[in-house]
Structure formats: structure tokens, C-alpha cells
Amino acid sequence: GAGVSQSPRYKVAKRGQDVALRCDPISGHVSLFWYQQALGQGPEFLTYFQNEAQLDKSGLPSDRFFAERPEGSVSTLKIQRTQQEDSAVYLCASSLVDPSGANVLTFGAGSRLTVL
């Protein structure tokens, strides 16, 4: 596609519910990142995929957070037993692989999760 697509754009969940957030990256982008942006804060890294391999999940805040990218394209971020502190905008970004690290990340519009 022309850009990174995320769905749903808005999600309201009751505390304790499970949620799944979808990211459809730019076609051909090998790298995929998930970030969490709390209100009034900058994006914070959650996890990184290169193709289907999850190379870094050091930013996931707890074992309630799980991400997958089984076929190396679409990715899903799942949050189990949601808590109020999970309320945030979840941003997905994709990029080409660049060994130098100079590649630019293209971000989606985000999924805004509100946990009541």
C-alpha cells in the first residue's frame, strides 16, 4: 500500500478485556516496529521485527503484551487483560532494511486504546 495502515483507529476496552491491534506495513518493508505513545509523551519502543523474526521485544512492558508477524507482512499487537495504564496510542512503523541504520521509519496513524 501507499502507507502504513493501522486498525482499529480507536478502541475502547473494559479493564480485563483482551485487545488486538493490526498493522499493515508498506509493501516490501522488511522492518516493522511497534511504539507506545502515552498522552503528552514521546513514542516509546516496544518491539521490532525483521520479516517474521521478532529480533527485539525488550520494550514490551509486561508479559500481557504479545506481538507477532507470522508471514513477514501484517503484524498484530495483542494486549491481554488490559489495565488502565495500557491506555495510549500504539504506533506501528515500517522501513526498508539499511545496515547502516540510516533508514527512515514511516509511521501509521496509530491505534488509540482507552481502557475504562
Partner 1 sequence: AQSVAQPEDQVNVAEGNPLTVKCTYSVSGNPYLFWYVQYPNRGLQFLLKYITGDNLVKGSYGFEAEFNKSQTSFHLKKPSALVSDSALYFCAVRVPSGYSTLTFGKGTMLLVSP
In angstroms, how far is the first alpha carbon of the chain from the final one? 34
Q: Does 41 bind partner 1 (CB under 8 A)?
A: yes
Under rule CB under 8 A, residue 54 binds partner 1: no
The residue among 115, 106, 104, 109 whose CA lies nearest residue 6 is 109
Query: Taking CB under 8 A as the rule, does residue 4 contact partner 1?
Result: yes
* Binding residues among 67-86 for partner 1 as defined by CB under 8 A: none
Closest CA to 92 of 5, 29, 2, 1: 5
Instruction: Determine the Cα angle at 78 with ends 7 and 115, to 5°.
Output: 75
> By C-beta, is 28 or 42 nearer to partner 1?
42
Q: Which is nearer to partner 1, 93 or 113 (CB)?
A: 93
Binding residue for partner 1, selected from 1, 28, 42, 70, defined by CB under 8 A: 42
